[in-house]
Amino acid sequence: MAPQLLRTVAEVSAWGAGLRRAGRRLALVPTMGFLHEGHLSLMREGRRHADVVAASIFVNPTQFGPKEDLARYPRDLEGDLARCAGAGVDVVFAPTEPGAMYPPGYQTYVEVTEVSKGLCGDRRPGHFRGVATIVTQLLCLFRPEVALFGEKDYQQLQVIKALNRDLHLGVEILGMPTVREPDGLAMSSRNAYLSAEERKRALSLSRGLGAAQALSRAGTREAAALVEAVRRELRAADLREDYVELVDAERLTPLATLQPGQPARLLVAAFCGATRLIDNQSIGG
Ligand code: AMP
């Protein structure tokens, strides 16, 4: 069945009030649209945790830098609604106006200090402030019991967990595994930017992470060696590294060596032509 389409904040408020009166549990999946299997996996999982599943589709302007791809970010509302229907989503919130969540007079921004540092936080100034602001808005507007996010955007997931905890929002935040193409490339709306030739070279991110994981399983503990395994693949495919880093899986602080029992994460960001791609992998621990 086609999901109910809500186009304004006022419509979401009224709909949410009805839902709470009926005592129904809500799962929310925030997205920027151009949906793929990664997004749909979150929606299907939402169904297992709630009576009602809502998705939002909003290309959030505040999380894009001035030189980033806001204007050309891929959009396909009609296709997305069909995909949401297939994934059993009940309600889609897709604001009509790009400024809908930032009307005239808007002046409230959310800044998560520690886990926003380093990695994408350093390379994309203001990005996580934009993410934290829109996600806080959506969690306050929908008041879901559960909200689902992908580990594909690993630092973003830690930012959202922090704001939910620190602002006492009381939502259960579920982080879901990265859905990949059969050859290992992490699914992303931005993969649509890649030419056929770039698409092949883009595999070097997941290949590098796989090589590092194999090394760690064989006993390598030094971050430098694990990072180098990823860099080698990026170089071989002629990708330009943005960062490759081994960090503590929760605090995202840099690690020099893997420690037994300490969950760690290896994260990579690289430019494939003009397209910036990210990926990450749990490692050791
Ligand atoms: P986006 O539309 O890129 O803002 O992503 C919306 C949500 O889908 C975020 O929680 C992402 O982490 C998640 N997501 C994006 N790609 C994937 C993927 N390949 N696997 C799992 N989740 C994903």
> How far does the centroid of ligand 1 lie from the alpha carbon of residue 140, in Å?
20
Please determine, for residue 238, whether its predicted confidence score (pLDDT) is greater than 70: yes
Percent of the chain residues topping a pLDDT of 90: 98
Q: Which atom number of ligand 1 is nearest to the Cα of residue 153?
A: 12
Catalytic residue among 36, 39, 49, 168: 39
Shortest-distance Cα residue to atom 14 of ligand 1: 150
Phi first, then psi: give them for residue 30, nearest 5 degrees.
-75, 135
Give me the pLDDT at residue 129, please: 98
Taken in order 59, 269, 176, 156, the sign of the CA dihedral is negative
Domains of the chain: 4-176 (3.40.50.620), 189-280 (3.30.1300.10)
Confidence band for 36, pLDDT divided at 50, 70 and 90: very high
**Mean pLDDT, residues 218-234 taken together:** 98
**Mean pLDDT, residues 243-262 taken together:** 96
Phi first, then psi: give them for residue 87, nearest 5 degrees.
-90, 5
Please determine, for residue 218, whether its predicted confidence score (pLDDT) is greater than 70: yes
Taken in order 60, 190, 274, 213, the sign of the CA dihedral is positive
Give yes or no for residue 63 CB within 6 A of ligand 1.
no
183 HSE (CA, 13 A, CB side): 9
Shortest-distance Cα residue to atom 19 of ligand 1: 187
Cα 256 from Cα 246, distance rounded (Å) = 8
Confidence band for 284, pLDDT divided at 50, 70 and 90: confident
Q: Using alpha carbons, list the distances in angstroms from residue 24 to 5, 20, 28, 88, 137.
A: 19, 6, 13, 16, 21
Token digits of residue 77: 């509302």
**Mean pLDDT, residues 204-232 taken together:** 98
Please determine, for residue 192, whether its predicted confidence score (pLDDT) is greater than 80: yes
pLDDT for 145-160, tens place per residue?
A: 999 999 999 999 999 9
Give me the pLDDT at residue 98, please: 83
Give yes or no for residue 176 CB within 6 A of ligand 1.
yes
Q: Answer yes or no: 39 catalytic.
A: yes
Percent of the chain residues topping a pLDDT of 70: 100
pLDDT for 89-134, tens place per residue?
A: 999 999 988 899 999 999 999 999 999 999 999 999 999 999 999 9
Phi first, then psi: give them for residue 275, nearest 5 degrees.
-95, 125
**Mean pLDDT, residues 1-10 taken together:** 96
Give yes or no for residue 179 CB within 6 A of ligand 1.
yes
Cα 102 from Cα 269, distance rounded (Å) = 29
Ligand 1 binding pocket mutation candidate from 39, 155, 161, 188 (most atoms within 8 A of CB): 39
Please determine, for residue 285, whether its predicted confidence score (pLDDT) is greater than 80: no
pLDDT for 156-173, tens place per residue?
A: 999 999 999 999 999 999
Shortest-distance Cα residue to atom 11 of ligand 1: 150
Residue 221 one-letter amino acid: R
Give me the pLDDT at residue 32, please: 98
pLDDT for 136-145, tens place per residue?
A: 999 999 999 9
**Mean pLDDT, residues 9-23 taken together:** 98
Shortest-distance Cα residue to atom 22 of ligand 1: 150
Q: Which atom number of ligand 1 is nearest to the Cα of residue 39?
A: 8
**Mean pLDDT, residues 245-274 taken together:** 97
pLDDT for 45-68, tens place per residue?
A: 999 999 999 999 999 999 999 999
How confident is the prediction for the chain on average, in pLDDT?
97
